[in-house]
Amino acid sequence: MIIVFNKNKAEEGIAELRKKFNGQKQIFVNNNRVAVQGADENELPTNILETVEEVITNVPAAVQGSRLFHPQDTVIHTPHAVIGGNEFVMMAGPCSVESEEHVKKMARVAKKGGAKIVRGGAFKPRTSPYSFQGLGEEGLKYLREAADENEMDMITEVMDDEHVEMVAKYTDIFQIGARNMQNFSLLKTVGKTNIPVALKRGMSATIDDLLNAAEYIASEGNRQIMLLERGIRTFDNKYTRNTFDLGAVPVLQKLTHYPVIVDPSHAVGEWDLVTPMALAGTASGASGMIVEIHDEPDKALSDGPQALKPKTYLKMAQKVFEVHQVINNK
Amino acid sequence: MIIVFNKNKAEEGIAELRKKFNGQKQIFVNNNRVAVQGADENELPTNILETVEEVITNVPAAVQGSRLFHPQDTVIHTPHAVIGGNEFVMMAGPCSVESEEHVKKMARVAKKGGAKIVRGGAFKPRTSPYSFQGLGEEGLKYLREAADENEMDMITEVMDDEHVEMVAKYTDIFQIGARNMQNFSLLKTVGKTNIPVALKRGMSATIDDLLNAAEYIASEGNRQIMLLERGIRTFDNKYTRNTFDLGAVPVLQKLTHYPVIVDPSHAVGEWDLVTPMALAGTASGASGMIVEIHDEPDKALSDGPQALKPKTYLKMAQKVFEVHQVINNK
Amino acid sequence: MIIVFNKNKAEEGIAELRKKFNGQKQIFVNNNRVAVQGADENELPTNILETVEEVITNVPAAVQGSRLFHPQDTVIHTPHAVIGGNEFVMMAGPCSVESEEHVKKMARVAKKGGAKIVRGGAFKPRTSPYSFQGLGEEGLKYLREAADENEMDMITEVMDDEHVEMVAKYTDIFQIGARNMQNFSLLKTVGKTNIPVALKRGMSATIDDLLNAAEYIASEGNRQIMLLERGIRTFDNKYTRNTFDLGAVPVLQKLTHYPVIVDPSHAVGEWDLVTPMALAGTASGASGMIVEIHDEPDKALSDGPQALKPKTYLKMAQKVFEVHQVINNK
Amino acid sequence: MIIVFNKNKAEEGIAELRKKFNGQKQIFVNNNRVAVQGADENELPTNILETVEEVITNVPAAVQGSRLFHPQDTVIHTPHAVIGGNEFVMMAGPCSVESEEHVKKMARVAKKGGAKIVRGGAFKPRTSPYSFQGLGEEGLKYLREAADENEMDMITEVMDDEHVEMVAKYTDIFQIGARNMQNFSLLKTVGKTNIPVALKRGMSATIDDLLNAAEYIASEGNRQIMLLERGIRTFDNKYTRNTFDLGAVPVLQKLTHYPVIVDPSHAVGEWDLVTPMALAGTASGASGMIVEIHDEPDKALSDGPQALKPKTYLKMAQKVFEVHQVINNK
């Protein structure tokens, strides 16, 4: 149930609600809108009724993420970037942090293409236990330096709840990978921080699954969330790694206030398909993009086939911003 | 096997091949390139070898549709439109031809938005036998007139091989629906005409299935084919009718020379998602778009929920052409 | 809307309904149950109300196939077999009719394993136009003789509506292939005959799609229908051709009165997986099975990899009947 | 690479390999078979070559799970049950441990139906953060007592690596849920124990994904693994929660030595479909089954709709063992 209070009487109404449901129901507040988890309309204290503008009873399970609870867009501010609203944010970098020198080189390329945020994995969730698993904390340091030297922010994946504290020392944005989208203890742990979280949609997660996973983060207090569409698993997997579900972009924008970011690299998995999909993702109305780049894809320690070489990336990035301008010009 | 002849000696080489394989193997010719179906390299007549530039043995089953056989883009010319190459063609109209007056009104709207081709179904493949099945030949007449009055071309679906002859009297382009993508006798029948064919990808057709279906048309002599991506069936079907597989656009463009058209209306099935998907489809590099419009969607005889009202269509179309210009500007 | 009449007053009630809706609404009758397509409860003639036991208004689109219209199981009788009810029918034979001698040999093997019906394709729907397309009418003759010599019935695929008449001269059961499940004119054409139809579920057909396709047949008068589960297309396609959806068996049995047959050969596509899937299909409660056999799978003209050799088939068939006995013993 | 040693000379060969690759390559041993991770055939010490029977170079990434490394079936022994080989093990119990009394009652029912292992969740991975999350450690105690009082073993889900130690104090078998199938740190943590692990296939995990996830467990030393097929996510989700992929049973049995268990409850999600799918799963050749039971499904704290009432369970279980006997009787 969501209660919409009269704007100048919200404070007292909320106080009453807290008194009434104290310790029994979870209460979430967004200005004059209050969600009371699991409560029934006829449990409302009668003395608040005249300060109430509307009671919305048909609410989705992922209530904090819904537009009903939070009609305006969430806009996330990191030191050098704005994510959400009318902005379009470019995030680029290598799949894995491979070495200090390499990640710094890639950060410079990313910056040149207009990226405000550099990406790179230090902890890699690999299908096989015998594949390269990342440089660990050392990788985080290199990525931090690469970001700082270029006046950029960084995003990196955290795979385990016990690593959250350590990764938090370095990163501006936590990335939760597709395989961990429903690792609920990890979600709750990042939900207890105040660092923005980029939540990747699981390979076969429905829209509702994704919103409920985001709600695990929000339920612990952190609503600085962005959602990443990175392709879903379908029967059509001979020529592309996944099926890029761009319809999810406007669907999510209708249902939720969180910014939606697209990841064309993982969606298709082949570098020569990345540019058209990056343009399509931009035209679909996404708030930004995360893309993998590498100067020598053949030697990449992970996901080489989908990495853009610097020259291709720069050309793509330019077109992306041009398309965004057309789209954004209302 | 594809044999690439020396350009000025192709004619005699082809004559030799015909003599050699006369009546035993199917032979397809594209300028100096010849595909011999099911033949082996060592069956080649030795007297042609010096006029041969290259023999390509690793060819896909759908050989005529492949870039190996036909490296340049196929560009289709209808009386008022060009489909393929650098052009972007807009096709718009109602899902079904509902009445003479209505389809003419819609054609005028389509035209105003830049459409060169008006669409409308006279024979409707409906999931249930008890749903509206279309106006039949009467509908074709109305659509023909609607096109002519606006100096446009028309596209309409043909569902049965026995209707091909009749539909051919009216239409500029045959549309083969998703459910009929592997109706092989229908494909062969339109393959015997010289009218362009727009082949819709089946709901769960792989890229190879689609190319093989196109090959059924080509194998009868008609290579005026365009391919339509209209969404595939996946687990993700609560908020959209299908999953729009835009990755298929660049994949097909890499593999085949046929123009690729996108159908955002069927892909998502909800009118408020059509504009972002139309823009995404354009940005993906498609050669054109087919879209459903209706002035009173609530009263539409079929697929009302996905129809754009005229005003929304016109706004969308303008953005679409702007995005195409950005994409096309190399 | 379904009207259930008092058993001994059904005749007059039906007569009244026909009079009332004459030529305007389709009326389908099953004993004392009558479905009036697209009519509303308050259109019922008042003079029949006292003979009416129940009016069911919430009916599925595929009304004739529903248990609401036809609560009892449909049981189909061919000259030598019973399909539906408590019977379990085995159908076996080669994928394609390859020669007179071969199909007769295979029929004898099929018979030995307990099959009452021999299968074999004379018209083959092949993904590529350049693959073997079947022997045509000649193949039908051989299959007919193979059936007759062994006192069996035959089942064979019909691909085009123009072939229906010719195939009807030979076959006891029409098979409609998965690719043609929504070839509506073909469905209507076999619906006008009185020959039983085995309708294969399309590769990505939902349960409702399948029931609506069956309804196209029933809407023309032929309710001698059986439904074939043959695997659906999913992401999981490396080790099996399709995903055998055995959950569809009890789901269909709940919703419809038509017998459900399983096709483990196409479902998995690999011979060494066919036996466990045949047993699983039997245990799921299916009314029968259709399976491909070949004495020399390596030389089969189509689908060799999924064909069982005679010895394996005979062993499998014995277990199948044993499992059916356990399942059937209530 | 897998090296197969001469049986009576394996010991010395292995010693040589350890010396050669000491600390550089991971070495796994199964009797006279040794897998050396990431090594090349020509790196083998020449002095061992004459004790080598075979070198297998084309091995899957999940090498320890493969039949090449471990040709014989893995058979797991818990105090009261045998899992694998020719045995068929029944595991049954409520979805969640709801109370001491209730879980004990359900354990008695389970036992009566032939179950050797009682199931029950104390930590529940729920899609929404606001759903019942389980009784925690208290639930584990109740389940332990319920098992002990009936001379049964218990299986329960562990969701986080930090809970592994605590759950280990109670359980005989760890269950890893579908959502956590690629929670690699959890897999590694249970891999460090010597308690058997039941690994559920993820909703859209391929066969190879599942085997690689199992390999994460094995790579830490624990090869007491069983694999659970519990339905995959497909387009077909109106009448069943998931699509039961029974083809995975024989496919897995061909590729791996780990026992395969089926979970018909989650596969279909509707109690009246569970019995036919339980029978189908048994007939497919699975080594056992895990099934949810509840005396009052309407009041169940989770997954009520798929729970079997005791009477239905007992009837189902009897048929299941009868079918297994038929299947197993070679």
Confidence of residue A48 (pLDDT cuts 50, 70, 90): confident
Interchain contact, C326 vs D323, CB within 8 Å: yes
Q: How far apart are CA D284 and CA C283, in angstroms?
A: 9
Q: What is the tens place of the pLDDT at every residue in C21-69? A: 988 899 999 999 999 998 888 888 888 888 999 999 999 999 999 999 9
* More confident: C39 or B216: B216
Tell which A residues from 275 to 314 touch B, by Cβ distance under 8 Å: 276-277, 279-285
pLDDT cut 90: percent of chain A above it:
86
Chain C closest CA to D216's CA: distance in Å?
A: 21
- Residue C82 burial class via C-beta count within 10 angstroms: exposed 0-12, middle 13-18, buried 19 and up: middle
How many C-beta neighbours within 10 Å does residue D96 have? 25
Closest Cα partner for B246 from B224, B230, B266, B225? B230
Q: What angle do CA A190, A191, A192 make, to 5 degrees?
A: 90
Predicted confidence (pLDDT) at residue C322 exceeds the cutoff of 80: yes
Interchain contact, C277 vs D232, CB within 8 Å: no
Instruction: With H, G, I as helix, E, B as strand and everything else as coil, classify residue C3.
Output: strand
- By DSSP bridging, strand C33-36 and strand C2-5 are antiparallel
Residue D212 touches partner A, C-beta closer than 8 Å: yes
ipTM of the complex, rounded to two decimals? 0.96
User: Residue A157: beta bridge partners?
Assistant: A175
Nearest CA in chain B to C162: B162
Closest Cα partner for D243 from D268, D278, D260? D268
pLDDT, mean of residues D244-249:
98
What is the DSSP track for B89-108?
Answer: EEEEE-SB---HHHHHHHHH
Confidence of residue B24 (pLDDT cuts 50, 70, 90): confident
Q: What is the DSSP letter of B1?
A: -
Confidence of residue A24 (pLDDT cuts 50, 70, 90): confident
Nearest CA in chain C to B237: C206
| Among D182, D185, D204, beta carbon nearest to A160 | D185
Q: What is the tens place of the pLDDT at every residue in D97-122? A: 999 999 999 999 999 999 999 999 99
Chain A closest CA to D62's CA: distance in Å?
A: 7
- By DSSP bridging, strand A260-262 and strand A153-157 are unpaired
Predicted confidence (pLDDT) at residue A8 exceeds the cutoff of 80: yes
**Per-residue model confidence (pLDDT) at position A22:** 85
**Per-residue model confidence (pLDDT) at position A308:** 97
Residue A323 touches partner B, C-beta closer than 8 Å: yes
Residue C130 touches partner A, C-beta closer than 8 Å: no
Q: What is the tens place of the pLDDT at every residue in B79-128? A: 999 999 999 999 999 999 999 999 999 999 999 999 999 999 999 989 89
Q: Can you list the alpha helix ranges (DSSP code H) found in B24-129?
A: 100-112
Predicted confidence (pLDDT) at residue D38 exceeds the cutoff of 90: no
Which residues from chain B sit within 8 angstroms of residue D204, using beta carbons? 235
Residue A211 touches partner B, C-beta closer than 8 Å: no
**Chain D touching partners, 3 or more CB pairs below 8 A:** A, B, C
Residue B19 touches partner A, C-beta closer than 8 Å: no
Token look-up 């339509």 returns B228
pLDDT cut 90: percent of chain C above it:
86
Q: What is the tens place of the pLDDT at every residue in C75-106? A: 999 999 999 999 999 999 999 999 999 999 99
- pTM, two decimals, is 0.96
Which residues from chain D sit within 8 angstroms of residue A182, using beta carbons? 125, 127, 179-180
Tell which A residues from 40 to 99 touch B, by Cβ distance under 8 Å: none
Q: How far apart are CA C170 and CA C118, in angstroms?
A: 13
* Edge-first strand listing for the sheet containing B33-36: B27-30, B33-36, B2-5, B52-56
**Per-residue model confidence (pLDDT) at position D8:** 86
Predicted confidence (pLDDT) at residue D327 exceeds the cutoff of 80: yes
Q: What is the tens place of the pLDDT at every residue in A100-154? A: 999 999 999 999 999 999 999 999 989 899 998 999 999 999 999 999 999 999 9
* For testing contact with chain C, the best of A233, A235, A240, A242 (most C CBs within 10 A): A235
Closest Cα partner for A290 from A180, A195, A153? A153
Q: What is the tens place of the pLDDT at every residue in A63-93? A: 999 999 999 999 999 999 999 999 999 999 9
Q: What is the tens place of the pLDDT at every residue in D283-299? A: 999 999 999 999 999 99
Q: What is the tens place of the pLDDT at every residue in C112-143? A: 999 999 999 999 989 899 998 999 999 999 99
Predicted confidence (pLDDT) at residue A173 exceeds the cutoff of 90: yes
Q: To which CATH superfamily is domain A76-328 assigned?
A: Aldolase class I (3.20.20.70)
**Per-residue model confidence (pLDDT) at position B330:** 72
Chains B, C: CB contacts under 8 A, how many?
Answer: 81
How many C-beta neighbours within 10 Å does residue D80 have? 14
Confidence of residue B9 (pLDDT cuts 50, 70, 90): confident
| All structural domains of chain C with their residue ranges | 2-56, 76-328
Predicted confidence (pLDDT) at residue A249 exceeds the cutoff of 90: yes
Q: What is the tens place of the pLDDT at every residue in C207-229? A: 999 999 999 999 999 999 999 99
Q: How far is CA B71 from CA B75, B285, D228, in A?
A: 12, 18, 49
Q: How far apart are CA D328 and CA C298, in angstroms?
A: 30
Chain A closest CA to C237's CA: distance in Å?
A: 8
Closest Cα partner for D253 from C239, B116, C103, A255? C239
Least confident of B180-194, D72-86, D123-137: D123-137
Closest Cα partner for C251 from D312, B237, D236? D236
Nearest CA in chain B to C211: B128
Interchain contact, D130 vs A38, CB within 8 Å: yes
Confidence of residue D329 (pLDDT cuts 50, 70, 90): confident
The answer to whether D91 touches D266, Cβ cutoff 8 Å, is no
Predicted confidence (pLDDT) at residue B39 exceeds the cutoff of 90: no
Q: How far apart are CA D148 and CA B98, in angstroms?
A: 72
Least confident of A191-200, C250-259, D280-289, D321-330: D321-330
Residue A203 touches partner B, C-beta closer than 8 Å: no
Tell which B residues from 229 to 248 touch D, by Cβ distance under 8 Å: 233-235, 237
